[in-house]
Amino acid sequence: MTARVDTSPCPAPPWLPGGHAQTLYGALVVRHHRISFVRERVDTPDGDFLDFDWAGPGLFADRLLDGQYIQHDPQLRKSAARRWMRDADWSHLHQTPGNPALVIFHGLEGSSRSHYAQSIAQYFRARGWITVIAHFRGCSGFSNRMARAYFSGDSADIAFILDTVRQRVPLARWHAAGVSLGGNAMLKYLGESGQDAGWLQAAAAVSVPLDLVACGRTLSETWHGRQIYCRYFLRTMRPKVLEKARRFPGTIDALRLGQARSLREFDDLYTAPMHGYRNALDYWTRASSKPRLKTIAVPTLVLNARNDPFVPAPSLPGSHECSDAILLHQPAQGGHAAFVCGPVPGHLNWLPARLARFFETGG
């Protein structure tokens, strides 16, 4: 069994050459439509919580079922959600059996505010889909309750999220999209679940670090990895974990963590031991989704730009390393979770349109 391959290009603009420029411009500069959500908080079986940001036909972030406008909840001002879900809101999302729905898994330190989550959710919401962005632990603007957080191989939380959205809107035709870290965890779950995940219509994984060892080394050992991308991620990751160290004395080496300058150092000190791995290398090896691609049964698009500065092109899978449920698309251009297109100032429409084409036609 081998994957199908899509050889079509991503039409990256000539005024934005190179993977670094495309990645940084897409994340920090390009303009895009913004969408607001209604938030639901769900308790997890282990005593923590996850926040889900919903949008869909008839569900409005700024008003209720009776048309009454409500103010932006002050608790949510740092998020893309404007208010909390109420019991009456669910009636809007249950009106049409078979309505298409999409759950989105964000990347490292992402949220419903991330450029890719916003562009994907807005595109599908505008076309009548139910969309929900599931925040990993500690990524919704609130500290989670436990010393643990989230990690690239957390297929158990992916399973909980998928079960939750399916229970909330059971008559929808559910699809899933995972970006970067969220895509790796989603693919790992799909590979482990096989036919049990068959209730999903289709899935799409975007800019995924399928081989975490290769990607972790690139981010931790190259100049651009350490000086640009690690600095960007650690500016929010370190404070979150140092706050946990104050709440859970003796569980985290706060002094050494405060000195971490790369993702490998951070994962060695916190992510790996906190989540049951010996060290960063053990974590990266065992949490990688690449070995699981052969057992995925759900129709799945795996989309990686070959100039992604996080993901070395030689680490990308070939068709022989995947099941025949997978469509591999590896355009030369696009950067990491960006895929900027069009004349100056550019737009982010290519990526959601690519996902929609796969969900609707399988190609």
Domain with 106, as residue range(s), is 4-209+289-361
Q: Where are the beta strands (DSSP E) in the chain?
A: 4-6, 37-43, 49-55, 81-84, 100-105, 130-134, 173-179, 202-206, 300-303, 326-329
pLDDT greater than 90 at residue 32: no
Cβ proximity of 198 and 297 under 8 Å: yes
pLDDT greater than 90 at residue 311: yes
pLDDT at 67 over 90: no
Tell me whether strands 326-329 and 49-55 are parallel, antiparallel or unpaired.
unpaired
100 and 202 inside one domain: yes
Residues 186 and 38 in one domain: yes
Q: Do both 326 and 185 map to the same domain?
A: yes
Helix (H), strand (E), coil (C) string for 101-146: EEEEECCCCCCCCCHHHHHHHHHHHHCCCEEEEECCCCCCCCCCCC
pLDDT of residue 68: 82
User: Do 156 and 48 share a structural domain?
Assistant: yes
Domain match, 192 and 107 both: yes
Q: Tokens 């870290």 sit at which residue?
A: 181
Look at residues 287, 310, 342 and tell me which one is the last residue of a structural domain: 287
Mean per-residue pLDDT for 92-111?
91
Residue 64 has pLDDT above 90, yes or no: no
Q: Rounded to whole angstroms, how far apart are CA atoms 331 and 309?
A: 14
pTM: 0.97
Token pair for residue 320?
A: 């022989």
Domain check: are 197 and 142 in the same one? yes
Judgement on whether residues 251 and 306 belong to the same structural domain of the protein: no
Interior CA angle at 175 toward 174 and 177, to 5°?
Answer: 145
pLDDT of residue 63: 85
Q: What is the pLDDT of residues 233-284, one digit of tens each?
A: 999 999 999 999 999 999 999 999 999 999 999 999 999 999 999 999 999 9
Q: Are 137 and 157 in contact (CB under 8 A)?
A: yes
Q: Do 282 and 312 share a domain, yes or no?
A: no
Residues 178 and 296 occupy one common structural domain: yes
How confident is the model at residue 65, as a pLDDT? 74
Boundary of a domain, candidates 234, 261, 287: 287
Q: What's the pLDDT at 92?
A: 77
DSSP SS3 for 326: strand
Task: Give the residue-averaged pLDDT of 80-103.
Answer: 89
Let me know whether 183 and 71 are in one domain: yes
Instruction: Tell me: do 95 and 36 sit in the same domain.
Output: yes
Domain total of the chain: 2
The angle subtended at Cα 315 by Cα 309 and Cα 316, nearest 5°, is 90
Mean pLDDT of the chain: 96
Which domain CATH number covers 18?
3.40.50.1820
| 315 shares a domain with 202 | yes
Segment 220-243 shows an average pLDDT of 96
Residue 74 makes CB contacts below 8 A (sequence gap 6+) with none
Out of 268, 287, 306, a domain closes at: 287
